Structure 1
Amino acid sequence: MAEDATKSNGGNGAHVTARFDAVVIGAGVAGLYALYRLREQGLKVMAIDAAPGVGGTWYWNRYPGARFDSEAYIYQYLFSEELYKGWSWSEKFPGQPEIERWLNYVADRLDLRKDIQFSTTVNSAHFNEATHRWLVTTEKGDVIDTQFLVTCCGMLSAPHVSFPGQETFKGQLFHTARWPKQPVDLAGKRVGVIGNGATGIQVIQTIAGEVGHLKVFIRTPQYIIPMKNPKYGAADVEAYKSKFTSFTERLPHTFTGFEYDFEHTWAGLTPERRREVLQACWDDGSLKLWISSFAELFFDPEVNAEISEFVREKMRERLKDSKLCEALIPTDYGFGTHRVPLEQKFLEAFHRPNVEIVGVKSNPIERVTPAGIQTADGTIHELDIIILATGFDAGTGALTRIDIRGRGGRSLKEDWSRDIRTTMGLQVHGYPNLFTTAVPLAPSAALCNMTTCLQQQVEWIDGCIRYMRSKSLDVVEPTKDAEDSWVAHHDEIANATLIAKTNSWYLGSNVEGKPRRVLSYCGGVGSYRQKCDEVAANGYQGFAMQSPREAATENVI
């Protein structure tokens, strides 16, 4: 254990091996910052991560082609100018190795490693109603007693989808989210990639020229935006670093936490001017077309249809072949209602003679066999390597894979299997002193530059705990009324969007049996921050807090 606390009994027979004021699960972007902030206010804190190193998502996602699609200079912590300016990026959208090095730089600069227990999986976390504290158990047999539990597990960290027969495959099989650290030899091999979302696209475009033959199993075509990724020289680095103050002022208040924001209204422009705006956004080679062209694309079917056709036109110009157009260009949903990937010559990869599309919408994958992948029509596609780019149980999966139990022994996994609910994505009614980041019903669940949103959530959590300590309070939990109100507000906004009308992982549609709800708050990053700030300014209205004496006499909030 990282802490040699006196051993004691946890109140339910558990033999406690360590005691902390706060335990943080995860050592990625949110977890590192939470550890830093809570430690700075004088708490005894430890972070736990299953990986052997820091990075979270950026430790595990080391598949071929993994890289940012947020500009590197805004995917950064903004709480310290010294920390920000102490790191220089080599290009606009750097790859995973450089991102992992950056997060190691953060951990070292802030001296965080001494309070992180690596290579440790959290099995369970149970709220002890007698002590009003959490008992956290790990696969190593540790039992940790903590007042506060802060989950920073990531919203895309629980790999999803397995196929019957995977264990029988005689070749190599990898999920992109658990790619091995040692190199995988793909040269000359028969490789199958299942999935063509943002991750699948990065893999496909990267390995197409290396493998012997590539079969891409596609169910749903994706709209794409071509990435422009210039290398950075000293002048470029100095230019973005000079904007630190303006970034701190602007990013927290835009719609998605990026530097750009919606500046035009569709109705206010002529058709010619609309086209100019779309073209300028497209030419930027970033996510600008999606999250900075016209907000109406999320709400107005006619506007969305016109922008969708603009993107289809651009894709047709590059594909040329009618069969490829049919297989790779979406027609049954609108641009921006799914996650929009950036790509680098992804479409051109399908012009290669060694790349083949296998459509699996009407002929789905049935199983994995010793030789390869079998589709419903009985065809066996013989392969040496299978790559699962099949996505995640987004938002909820990382926590439902831990046995989290709140008041009365209620199970978070069971609660969320019936109805996915949170209070502002920060706490869940029935789970006192459990704070959450990157879970549903907040922008950080999907529609946000992640560092912008995760910093904001960590700072709110830190502020809440500071407030409690200043008032000698030790238990906090959202009331049922507050949670009901937030869920209703979230749904009202989400259901007005076209996102709610489109099947995707944004609604959990990729996970069989998962309750249908738009996972991310769609009201905008700036609006969400304002609402969180208002709650805090009003003494954490809607969050019931108790002193030790009050908590001892009343278990139900």
Structure 2
Amino acid sequence: MNSLSINENSQAGEGHSSLRQIYTPKQTLSVIGIGAGASGLLLAYKVQRHFDDFTLEIFEKNPEVSGTSYENRYLGGFSNKYGLAEYVKLSSEVIGARWDDHEALWHVKVQNLVTRDALDRTAHVLVNAGGILNSWRFPPIHRIRSFKGLLVHSAAWPKEGLELEGNTVGLIGNGSSEIQILPAIKDKVDKLVTFVREATWVAPPLGVFQDKEVHLDMRKKTEAASNSMFAIFHRGSEQQQNMRQYMESLMRQRLENPELEKVLIPEWSVGCRRLTPGTDYLESLRDDNITETTPTGIVCSDGKGDYPVNVLICATGFNTTLKPRFPVQGARGCKLENMWRDEPRFQKENLPSFEVRRSAVAEFSSWKDKWMKDTIWFES
């Protein structure tokens, strides 16, 4: 029978002491969050409610909380309601992170965007809540940064607004942002030039949220309607032809301009790219102060030269990859931005049979490739 080893020099009642520990002593959990948007604020909310002994710092590059909501001018009081502001360091951007295998800690480098000072922090847990809809980008147009007028991206709209009255404004893009911006500014500008790289299907606004009963009815019917419309995605099907005829007729009625119809009505099938609901967008393109709709850009390849504007608004979207926006060195010195250059892979914990067999993937991919040839997505 095994017995405990007792220190012969100990006195009665002193008990037994040993430097060998069979468990890790209690530690203060240190957490660093990147970004004070929806995910970062939820992190703070959860940590403060579920832990007693912790430190938490959330670094937000903007001068206010809300992340993308701040950049896109939407307001929210979640941070104030639950007292989360004490954890947030504003105007602070994470510029690097390194995992130390020996210490089992993250070493995080942060830059103060006001003073430009850099500071180092360590944490047991690092949560990247930076999101993918805040890394906006200007279009890859040669020398766009040399534009002498006011250059603005729709995702970084000035907090104080834009003075557009009396200006000739250029608007680049034909996606959801541009389709919302154009009707909103057309009556404020002197002239408006919109630059469209490719056509898109513009649907009428849904308008279901004004009537609660209609909204509820739509929610109940959404799945059934989606399933019944699946034949639309098959090339050459009667449903696809009917949908194209309907959408094309609708856009022609709203445009009433053969030249605009040539530029804006796509040749590809309806549904190959997500439909974009537009309120007054197509109608706005008929206004007299919108002088040109061009297929390429500011300096066009259509022989018409360049179009002088003094305000240029780029509604050209975001960098939506999950590749880190700053250098991240993981376990064993691995650089995650290189590993995730294409797309991140899944992470498993104690799931020995999580991976799908190569043979199963190959069989599915072969079937999928054959099936896709009959769908509208094969057009792209």
TM-score (norm 1): 0.53
The structure 2 residue matched to 1:123, chosen from 95, 101, 111, is 95
Contact 1:171–1:384, Cα closer than 8 Å, also in 2: yes
Q: Following TM superposition, by how much is the alpha carbon of 1:142 offset from its aligned partner in structure 2, in angstroms?
A: 2.2
Would the aligned equivalents of 2:37 and 2:69 in 1 still touch at CA under 8 Å?
Answer: yes
Residue 392 of structure 1 corresponds to 318
Q: Residue in 2 aligned with 1:420?
A: 343
* 2:299 counterpart residue number: 374
| 1:290 equivalent in structure 2 | none
CA pair 182-216 structure 1, distance change in 2 beyond 3 A: same
Match of 2:125 among 119, 142, 148: 148
Closer/same/farther in 2, CA of residues 33 and 315 from structure 1, 3 Å limit = same
Tell me whether 1:334 sits opposite 2:270 in the alignment.
Answer: yes
- Identity of aligned pairs, percent? 24
Cα deviations by residue, 1:159-215 (Å, 9 ceiling, x for unpaired):
133422233222110111112111211112111111110111111121111111111
Q: Report the structure, 1 or 2, having the larger helix content.
A: 1
CA distance, structure 1, for counterparts of residue 209 and residue 269 of structure 2: 35
Q: Is the 8 A contact 1:154 1:395 kept in 2?
A: no
The equivalences for 1:75-224 within 5 A come to 99-100=74-75, 103=76, 105-140=77-112, 141-160=118-137, 161-224=139-202
The residue aligned with 2:37 is 28
| Residues 193-248 of structure 1 deviation map (CA, whole Å, 9 limit, x = unaligned) | 1111011111112111111111111012122232255897xxx8xx79xx9xxx9x
Deviations 1:59-98 (A, max 9, x none): 1124xxxxxxxxxxxxxxxxxxxxxxxxxxxxxxxxxxxx
**Separation in structure 2 between the aligned mates of residue 484 and residue 115 of structure 1, nearest angstrom:** 41
Task: From the superposition, tell whether residues 308 and 54 of structure 1 become closer, same or farther in structure 2 (CA, over 3 Å).
Answer: farther
Distance 2:107 2:361 in 1: 32
Deviation of 1:29 after TM superposition, in Å, equals: 2.1
| Contact 2:193/2:290 (8 A) holds in 1 | yes
Distance 1:306 1:55 in 2: 44
Q: CA deviation at 1:386?
A: 0.8
Partner residue of 1:320 out of 249, 256, 260:
256
Deviations 1:464-502 (A, max 9, x none): xxxxxxxxxxxxx6889846779969x969977768646
Give the alignment partner of residue 350 of structure 1, picking from 266, 285, 289: 285
Matched, 1:310 2:246: yes
| 8 Å contact kept, 1:20–1:144 | no
TM-score (norm 2): 0.76
| 2:33 aligned counterpart, secondary structure | strand
Report the aligned-residue RMSD.
3.5
Q: Quick one: distance in 2 between partners of 1:374 and 1:499?
A: 33
- Preserved CA contact (<8 Å) 1:298 1:499: yes
Residue 49 of structure 1 aligns with which residue? 60
Give the SS at the match of 1:314.
Answer: helix
Distance 1:231 1:300, change over 3 A: closer
Task: Return the letter of the residue paired with 2:326.
Answer: I
What stretches of structure 2 of length at least 5 have no aligned partner?
1-27, 113-117
Contact 1:265-1:296 at 8 Å conserved across structures? no
Pairing partner for 1:408 from 328, 332, 335: 332
Gaps of 5+ in 1: 1-18, 63-98, 248-257, 268-293, 366-372, 430-476, 504-557
